[in-house]
Amino acid sequence: MLFGRKKRNPIKIADKKVVDWKYTTCGYCSTGCSLDIGLNEEGRPVATRGTADAKVNRGKLCVKGIFEHELFDSAGRGAEPLSRLAADEEFQAVSWDAAMDSMAAKIQGIQNEYGRDSFAVVSTGQIMTEEFYTLGKLTRGLIGTNNYDGNTTLCMASAVSGYKRSFGSDGPPGCYDDFEHTECLLAFGSNLPEQHPIIFWRLKEALEKRKFPVIVVDPRVTMFAQFADIHLPVTPGTDLVLLNSLAHVILDEGLDDRAYIQTHTNGYEKFAELVGKYDPLTASKICGIDAEMIRKVARIFAKAGAAMSIWTMGINQSTHGSDGVVAINNLSLITGNIGKRGGTSLSITGQCNAMGTREWSSCSGLPGYRQLENPEHRREIGKYWGVDEDFFPKQRGMTMTDIFPAIEAGEVKGLWLVATNPMTSMPDSARIRKCLEKLDFLVVQDAYRDVETNQYAHMYLPAALWAEKEGCFTNTERRVNLVRKVCEPHLNSKPDHWIFSNLAKRFEHSKRMKFPETTAEIFDEMRELSVGTMVDISGLSHDLLEQEKGIQWPCSASQVIKAAETEDRYLDRIGSSRLYTNGQFQYADGRAKLHALPFVDNNEVPCEEFPFWLNSGRVVEHFHTRTKTGKIGNMNKYSPTPYMEVNPEAAQEQGIKQSDYVRLVSRRGDAVVMAQLTHRVAKNALFIPFHFHDCVNRLTLGLLDPYSRQPAYKQNSVRIETIDQKLAAKINLEMRDY
């Protein structure tokens, strides 16, 4: 020692006494990070670390993953199934058998009285792919309602719809490795550092090795915008205009890949004619980006040897979200940037298994990207499941965002919510509350009893949390990752697939069907069904997924066998980094489609009465409706209470000081938030994190995209009112009381 005590106590450093590390996959976002949960001698989870040789995260984790072991014992977990006759009565604990019996009877009762479609099922992006598949089998094969959707309609529907329109199928064509090869990154409405920190790190790592231009389009000066080489602070809701104009410049200046367009696309003429109208000068007046900048960005993108686009909710959550996605795909197609290293159009997905539900849940069709509209698919699945093919509807039913208005209209009488919390997550909370109140029967199935929607439930089913069970998640880059079971489910909660299978037994027809006990057996069914489809996972198994730390589909059995025969360290080679590498798309003629996308301004633009744009988004320390992250002090403390970002100049005009509470008013309702003065937002714009209960979604309108039915969360108008600070503090405290 240099100085200090000569005789000192021994150095003590916290030792959590981990005796075993269990491999699993993070259950928050879609990045798909592998992590190890440390168990102590008693088998309790006490530590988390990023898996050292993980393909995605290479040992890193974000703040949420780092504390994921604390979830198992977090406050508010459900212990027993609960039941009550009306939402204003007290819940009574019931046995699982009684709960399942009564639930099946209620569903059938409602369906008998009002028709099959009067009972709706809304699931999630949070449970395992095997569970999605099982829920799909139950809903499509036994319950038989066509009003079955996932909350992915709130986040990824526009990406799905856009991919289908451009390429003939869903499925993100690129991967994180594209950062290592691209020569230009164009990011739309994506705040990677905050929303997908580990994907941002992968980008950062690529940039450490090799500099390439990063262009960020975002009305808000996010951390990503700040670090970008070029930031385009676009006018909210006008990204389609900017995209059309970029295409205009590329075609106008002959920077397009004519050979690729001619060989691999349809629809060029109409597309060219449409973008012809969006010259940079005209566009600049609408989207707020000057003409010279539009030309410059178009040139950088088109001249790059390989250029990629990424986007998240800034594109998806708008009235022309699907069009925005298609427009991004258009840019990639006309420059030949699909299916090549560093050239892609990559949707950065939201939930840990949003992809899993898209692939296997049968929400929008049938498993393995099959469609209800296709008689061959109906026949195939009907036969495999042991269900009469005519039992399947011939067309997709309502989406989540249409199911709620259908409750309002009295068409839907019963609702089953699986791991989703519309009271906080859906736009126009007041309207959602009214819908929930109207239901004859609401089942909430969630790991947390205190999930806000439970307030209206007639039945609550306590579900096991993420790593209290085993199964797969698919991440943003189509990597199927394995979640290993780390510990037993909390008290008497059960894995979601157990609940689905046990409910299925209550339906008469289930005797002719199979509902396997384990997720590994369920995975075998999916493997068989995937053969010959785009989402081929026949080469995968749970053990192989752990060994390889995830594999990107498609990955056929023959590919794995062949790789095993030819290579020593073969396993790095299996799976598929990219889709459409041969320029063959999923449309019947193998060509992608260029769409002409006219811009219609139907946003709720600010006016005299409501002079501010209201934008919402995510913060790194919270996930979705804070059901999980709000319980963990070491994350929640970074934003324990809702706030809005407001420009200091606007604040001054309104007489608002830093940390004052304000009341925001829209045409739908009001919300109380704390003011954070920052130049991150424009003088006529506000930003509020969407995670908080009874907050931003009391204000949002949520107009629906005509293709994806996804709500426009990010373009609403509000006004600011002052409020008595003591009253506001009281209101705020009550709203945090879960």
Partner 1 sequence: MSINRDHEPEYASLDSPCVADTNVYGNPIDLIASSTVEVGTSMYINADPSVGETPNRNKQHGFHFTADNCIGCHACEAACSEKNDLPPHLSFRSVGYVEGGSYPDLKRMNISMACNHCDDPVCLKGCPTNAYTKHAEYGAVLQDPETCFGCGYCTWVCPYNAPQLDPLEGHVQKCNMCVDRLEVGLKPACVSACVGNALDFGVIESIPENRHQAKTSIPGFPDPEISKPNIRFQQSSENPKEFKRTDSEHIKYRQSEQSDVYEPVVDLKSSEEKHWNLGKLSSRENPLVIFTLVTQAVIGAFVIAFFGGLSGMENMGMIASSAVASPILLLLAALQAFVLVLSTLHLGKPLRFYRGFNNLRYSPLSREALAVSIFFGFLPVLAVLHAMQFGFLNILEAGAIQANFLPWASDSMLKLSATVLISLAVLIGLLGLYYMHMIYRIKARPFWDHWQVLSSFFGTMFSLGAVLLGLLVLPLIWFSSVSLTSLIVELLPFVAIGLAIEALGHFFHARDLKEGGKEGAASLMLLQTQFGKTYVLRNGVILLSLLAALLILMFSQQLFNTSGLLYAFAGGLAMACLFSSIVSRALFYVLVIPTTMPGAFFWKNKGFEEHARETGLAKMPQVGVVELSH
Q: Is the backbone of residue 32 left (phi > 0), alpha (psi -120 to 50) or beta?
A: left
Please list every residue from 577 through 616 that binds partner 1, using CB under 8 A: none
Q: Which stretch binds partner 1 (CB under 8 A): 130-138, 225-233, 485-493, 540-548?
A: 225-233
Residue 620 as a binder of partner 1 (CB under 8 A): the answer is yes
Report the residue from 136, 141, 189, 233 that binds partner 1 according to the rule CB under 8 A: 233
The answer to whether 291 and 169 are in contact (CB under 8 A) is no
Q: Which pair of structure tokens corresponds to residue 154? A: 């709130």
Give the list of residues 6+ apart from residue 277 with CB closer than 8 angstroms, or none. Answer: 244
Cα gap 496→179, rounded to integer Å = 36
Residue 285's identity, in one-letter code, is K
Vertex 519: Cα angle to 521 and 509 (nearest 5): 70
Q: Using the rule CB under 8 A, is 736 a contact of partner 1?
A: yes
Span of 175-183, 351-359, 524-532, 657-665 interacting with partner 1 by CB under 8 A: 657-665
Which of 26, 29, 39, 62 is in the footprint of partner 1 by CB under 8 A?
A: 62
Residue 161 has a CB neighbour count (10 Å cut-off) of 24
Candidate segments 127-135, 304-312, 397-405, 626-634, binder of partner 1 by CB under 8 A: 626-634
d(CA 523, CA 540): 9
Least distance from partner 1 to the Cβ atom of residue 260, Å:
35
Q: What angle do CA 550, 551, 555 make, to 5 degrees?
A: 155
**Residues 173-202 contacting partner 1, CB under 8 A:** 193-194, 197-198, 200-201
Chain positions 634 to 653 lying near partner 1, rule: CB under 8 A, are 634-641, 643, 647, 649
Span of 220-228, 531-539, 590-598, 709-717 interacting with partner 1 by CB under 8 A: 220-228
Q: Give yes or no for residue 673 binding partner 1 (CB under 8 A).
A: no
401 contacts 710 by C-beta, under 8 angstroms: yes
- Determine if 61 is a binding residue for partner 1 (CB under 8 A): yes
Considering only residues 18 through 47, tell me which ones interact with partner 1, judged by CB under 8 A.
18, 47
- The answer to whether 525 contacts partner 1 (rule: CB under 8 A) is no
Residue 10 as a binder of partner 1 (CB under 8 A): the answer is yes
- Which residue from 37, 39, 66, 272 is in contact with partner 1, where contact means CB under 8 A? 66
Give the number of other Cβ atoms within 10 Å of residue 65's Cβ.
24
Nearest to 116 by CA among 148, 136, 147, 145: 145
List of residues 6+ apart from 260 with CB closer than 8 A: 333, 334, 335, 336, 583
Q: Shortest distance, CB of residue 629 to partner 1, whole angstroms? A: 9
Interacting span for partner 1 (CB under 8 A) from 3-11, 153-161, 235-243, 512-520 = 3-11
Cβ proximity to partner 1, 130 vs 194, nearer residue: 194
Q: What are the CA-CA distances from residue 516 to residues 492, 519, 524 (Å)?
A: 21, 8, 10
What sign does the dihedral 280-286-290-296 (CA atoms) show?
Answer: negative
Evaluated on CA atoms 456, 462, 463, 465, the torsion sign reads: positive
Residue with smaller CB distance to partner 1, 225 or 701: 225
Residue 731 CB, nearest approach to partner 1 (Å): 11
At closest approach, how far in Å is the CB of 576 from partner 1? 24
Which listed residue (3, 254, 532, 607) binds partner 1 by CB under 8 A? 3
Q: How many residues bind partner 1 (CB under 8 A)?
A: 78
- CB of residue 437 vs partner 1: minimum separation in angstroms? 28
